[in-house]
Amino acid sequence: MIDNELSIVFLIINASLPVQFVIAVLAGISIVSWGIIISKFLVFRRAKKSSSEFENEFWSGGELMDLMGKIESRQIQGEMPRIFKSGMTEFRKSVNQGNLQTEAIIDNTRRALKAATFKEIDELENKLPFLATAGSVSPYIGLFGTVWGIMQAFLSLANIEQATLANVAPGIAEALIATAIGLLAAIPAVIAFNNLSTKLESLSSKFDTFIEEFSNILQRQI
């Protein structure tokens, strides 16, 4: 059974102010990271579902204007529907000008699709850099707390004639807690960042494929 004087809670409460500050910073980073992780996983799951549903609707053989009407009435929502809406809006605008060649119409439409895609990707990517930063910085913040705690533990031996392990154990233990918390903050952030980045690349590739297919359909319709 762990001695109460060496329990984690006791060591944190009685740690030096710099070590407590480090632990507080790491706890804050961890809380924010988990908030981003949970919210982003929900966002990406919703984006994948809406994209699949839209693709099924898009390839069902219905009229593009009927699909546009469903999006404008918010019956269909999501990243890919918004990209489709931007492209379709620009396509109609270019066609209605009446003096543009087919190539110019498709180029304008493609630019609108690309711009809408970049906007959606930026929104999906938002806050992911924080996870990357948390994953790379947290261990070093924890290491700083560890180095400081160990340094203070050994400096406290200066006024003791006969030093024993019992004299430095609490100080070293509190110092190592900072490293442990740093790793606990970093590991989930790194795993989540890698996973979400893979999902982002998959969605980005799906958007690019859709742009090419949609552009070809529009070109055949002109």
What amino acid is encoded at 33 in this protein?
Answer: S
Is 60 exceeded by the pLDDT of residue 6?
A: no
Is 90 exceeded by the pLDDT of residue 131?
A: yes
Instruction: Annotate 129-162 with b (16+ C-beta within 10 A) or e (fewer).
Output: eebeebbebbbebbbbbbebbbebbeeeeeeeee
Q: What is the reported pLDDT for 157?
A: 67
**Cα–Cα distances in Å, from 67 out to 72, 106, 132, 158?**
9, 19, 38, 78
Question: What's the pTM value of the predicted model, to 2 decimals?
Answer: 0.83
Per the structure, the complete domain to which residue 77 belongs is given by 4-221
Q: What is the reported pLDDT for 162?
A: 61
Give tens-digit pLDDT for 98-128: 788 888 999 999 999 999 999 999 999 999 9
Helix (H, G, I), strand (E, B) or coil at 26: helix
Give tens-digit pLDDT for 65-79: 888 988 988 888 999
Could you give the percent of the chain with pLDDT greater than 70? 88
Q: What is the reported pLDDT for 2?
A: 45
Give tens-digit pLDDT for 136-190: 999 999 999 888 888 877 776 666 666 565 666 666 777 788 888 999 999 999 9
Is 90 exceeded by the pLDDT of residue 80?
A: yes
> How many domains, in total, are found in the chain?
1
Least confident of 33-37, 49-53, 154-158: 154-158
Helix (H, G, I), strand (E, B) or coil at 62: coil
Is 80 exceeded by the pLDDT of residue 206?
A: yes
Higher pLDDT: 12 or 199? It is 199
